[in-house]
Amino acid sequence: MPLRRKPVLPDTIARHRGALALSAEHGVTDFYQGVVPALVPLLVAERGYDYAHAGGVVLAATLVSSLTQPLFGVLADRGPAPGRVRAVGLLLAAAGIGAVGSTTSYAATCAALVLSGIGVAAYHPEAAKAAHRTGTGDRGMGWFTFGGLAGYAAGPVAAGAVLLPFGLVATPLLAVPAVIALLAGRFRGRSPEPGDDHSDAPVAGTNRWREFGWLTVIIVLRSVLFYGVSTFLVLSLAERLGAPPSTASLALVLFSAAGAVSTLAGGGLVERFGRLTVLRVSHLTGLLLLGCLITAPAVPIALVAAAALGAAVNLPLPVHTTLGQHYLPRNLGIAGAVTLGISVSSGGAAVPALGAFANVHGTTAALAVLLPLPALATALTAFLRDPAEQAEQAEQAEL
């Protein structure tokens, strides 16, 4: 009697299944980045840190991650992308956050967060290559980015639920999502994403480093804006409008959650309007909404402005990654390290300076300092061209 063959999923379903699995994996990793801004109010309250020292904690979690991210990108480009590298990255990210509650000095707290940042840096380049190999384009990258931002948005929620009742001593409980992900066995051996058999084949195309450089500047400007708002939003609402801690924390949750959801719309908008249009509109809208946030006369209006700002600031994230990969087709690891990793972490380098400014002028003034950034980012898009659009125009010209 002949053996019955197992049905094979259509290629498109298999590709999207791989993208969704990576999205969930990305969410668990970036959850630990989302916890960091939520630690700031607790460190100020429990350990008496001023705003500058609290900003230094954010810097510890992000600066080393930003500096080492390109190195991990180079390593990712030199060989296949084993799942174990992503697993180690997740493990370090969780271990660093979990250790914060047991630290007894400022230096030890910073060291724990440096460890977490290194884990995040190790994860993103390999994950970006795996996401690219699924072959799902802007929509797939939108889901992948959504996973990371959803995890980031869950960070403040989980930190509030776990740490507000028990204090910083409960930070080891925040490592539970990583333990579950690792026990699930998702990271064993080489990643099973569709197309993996050809992941190391020569890549056609020429690297366009100059345009990638301009894109990187835009990414850093967006990251400074995002981290500045994430760090000082709660403190600003409490300081300026007298919002209670639970309400002020809700603003951060709305900012992060709306940003995560907005990435899902990016793929459809890109197909209709193009990558560069999405970039320009999102940054211009972010400028207007930041102004609304810092001038909101009441807490409900501020909450709406925070949610809308989060959506505008995060909408172009999938575009950053797909455009970066088009600019560096021969170095996908470096492209992912910059567009996925540095896009989140580089802004933390500016937070201590913003904290020092806030010590003198207040947290709302620190947010106001960020206003020129989206305007500058919009202007810099003039130096960018979309390779995919240029290829289509060339084909139409030949016809």
CATH number of 12-398: 1.20.1250.20
User: Which two three-digit tokens encode residue 13?
Assistant: 């379903």
Instruction: Tell me what pLDDT residue 50 has.
Output: 83
Instruction: Tell me what pLDDT residue 197 has.
Output: 41
* pTM exceeds 0.85, yes or no: no
Instruction: Tell me what pLDDT residue 13 has.
Output: 53
For residues 229 and 44, what is the distance between their CA atoms, to the nearest angstrom? 17
For residues 232 and 52, what is the distance between their CA atoms, to the nearest angstrom? 12
The per-residue b/e assignment along 172-184, b for 16 or more CB within 10 angstroms, e otherwise, is bebbebbeebbee
- How many degrees, rounded to 5, is the angle at CA 122 between CA 111 and CA 374? 85
User: Which two three-digit tokens encode residue 368?
Assistant: 């106001």
The two counts, helices (H) then strands (E), for the chain are 17, 0
Give 85-124 pLDDT, tens digit per residue: 888 889 999 999 999 988 889 999 999 999 998 998 888 8
User: Which two three-digit tokens encode residue 143?
Assistant: 């889901």
Instruction: Tell me what pLDDT residue 380 has.
Output: 95
Instruction: Tell me what pLDDT residue 79 has.
Output: 64
For residues 272 and 72, what is the distance between their CA atoms, to the nearest angstrom? 34
Question: Which residue numbers in the chain have pLDDT < 70?
Answer: 1-18, 79-83, 134-140, 185-204, 267, 341-345, 390-399
CA distances from 162 to 12, 54, 172, 292 (A): 40, 20, 10, 32
Give 277-319 pLDDT, tens digit per residue: 999 999 999 999 999 999 999 999 999 999 999 999 988 888 8
For residues 287 and 47, what is the distance between their CA atoms, to the nearest angstrom? 34
